[in-house]
Amino acid sequence: MKPSTRTEVAERVVARTVTAGTRVAGTRVAGTRVADHRPTLLAIRRWGLQRHSGAGALRGRVAALAGRRYGRVTPYLTILMLRNFATETWRFRSGERVSMPGCIIASPSRPDDPFTDQDYLHCWVRDAALCVVEAARAPLPGPPDLDRLPCVDLFDQYVRFAAATQRSAREAGLLGHACFRVDGTVRPWSVQADGPALRVMAVLDLFSRLSPSGQALARQVVAEDAGYLLGAYRQPTTDLWEENHGFHFFTRAVQQRCFKRLLFEGGAIGVEVDAPALAAAIADLERQLAEHWDGDHYRAAAGCLGRDVDISTIMGAVYGRRPAADPRLLSTAAVVWDSFRHLYPINEADAARGLGPSLGRYPEDVYDGNGGQRPTGGHPWPLCTAVFAEYYYRVARQLDRDGILVVNALTERFFEQIGCTPGRGRYVAGTPEFAEALGRLVDAGDRMLDAVLFHSDHLEMSEQHHRDCGYQMSVRNLTWSYAAFLRAVRARSSL
């Protein structure tokens, strides 16, 4: 059978509809009605599926393509994500507990769902922080003022819920606790020191959009998290996948980014900061991050038992805003990409369609969303794939800004993977080799985002899609999946 073209792939997506939730007596009930969202389908039909040739200026041309390919889809993905945000009238029930406004659940899935035995109807500090930022930055369909009036209270509610969870953790003696019930009380779980760092950065991003009372409470939230982090960053913690305890690249990268932002932004919002302590912590973390380098790539864990190759290193570079074109990061990305390219059979089929590859968490992963059953092996994660796509865009942006491309022993494999083979050397802006590299980086990211959309269930995104057939699986409507996709599109639009 002749492989589908990317245009035919788009037509298959066009044939789908968007599954919507309904609201019963003020309570969110997921997946009970199917609605035909024709504006979304028309937007997908207008995708420009032509490849980048690598010729011409990056700015303008790439931004225009971004608007045509993803700009009209993201408002609807934002709405799908917002279904997992609790408000005064949009509530979640977990047993006898009713959600507090401002709670952002990870997913509406519970153990009695047909495709998972996991209970994700809770709020993880990390996930909520990453998702609320995208709610603030993503466009919504409708009048220009639609994203301003109701969302002020939405963000105030997030800060109030954050303060409530801090109080619950403090009273339980569990500072840095990672997961809370929908009413803000502590759920028995682990301490994960990346969450407070990401929450500080989320509050800094939201601060100008908070009410005066929300800003006052936000200062308290930031100050408490900052105090905790300054004492915790030297201590081992549980990783973002909640499987290993130790020192992790991702955690250290986002903690360092948090400290940098506090140092330069904390005073501006009225938070008293300990500048010498923050500066010392930033320097300490830089040295600690260097300890993850093994001569070929950054290891996910250092100084402890843990995984070697793990996409969390690239996620740490993205969420921690490390210099994307750092040769060591490019080498790390090449190792991660290689570990997944032929691991999942679906990637072979997608390659024939001009899509992918789709990436998972780490090569040895066996988690499939059903912890009580014999695992079927690890699967691709949409959020991991979207974050890697964002990394490609960030590399392109840095190269475009710096005006120079360096291909050497560390970086050569990375560029070969995206079809860029100029040979080792230094290429400046204006040369054909430089232009080709920028175009191929953007195209590589686009292929990954296209794979995420292609394997979505009418644009709905679960935690994973199947390694063999690409069908959505594990917990449904993972909030972080939408946020990662929206963030990648934002990165692309900034080119």
Which residues neighbour 212 within 8 Å (Cβ) at sequence distance 6 or greater? none
Question: What residue ranges define each of the domains in the chain, with the CATH number in brackets?
Answer: 1-82+324-495 (1.50.10.10), 96-322 (1.50.10.10)
Q: Cα dist. 79→116, 143, 159, 280, 373 in Å?
A: 24, 15, 20, 41, 33
What are the tens digits of pLDDT across the range 274-323?
A: 999 999 999 999 999 999 999 999 999 987 666 799 999 999 999 999 99
Q: Residue holding tokens 């570990």?
A: 339
Q: Which band of pLDDT confidence, cut at 50, 70 and 90, is reported for residue 151?
A: low
**C-alpha span between 107 and 103 (Å, rounded):** 12
What is the band of 143 on the pLDDT scale with cuts at 50, 70, 90? low
pTM: 0.88
pLDDT of residue 140: 65
Binned at pLDDT 50, 70 and 90, residue 115 comes out as confident
Average pLDDT over residues 320-341: 98
Question: Quick one: which of 310, 210, 193 has its CA closest to 259?
Answer: 193
Confidence of residue 26 (pLDDT cuts 50, 70, 90): very low
Sign of CA dihedral 126, 329, 434, 428: positive
212-263 per-position pLDDT tens digit: 999 999 999 999 999 999 999 999 999 999 999 999 999 999 999 999 999 9
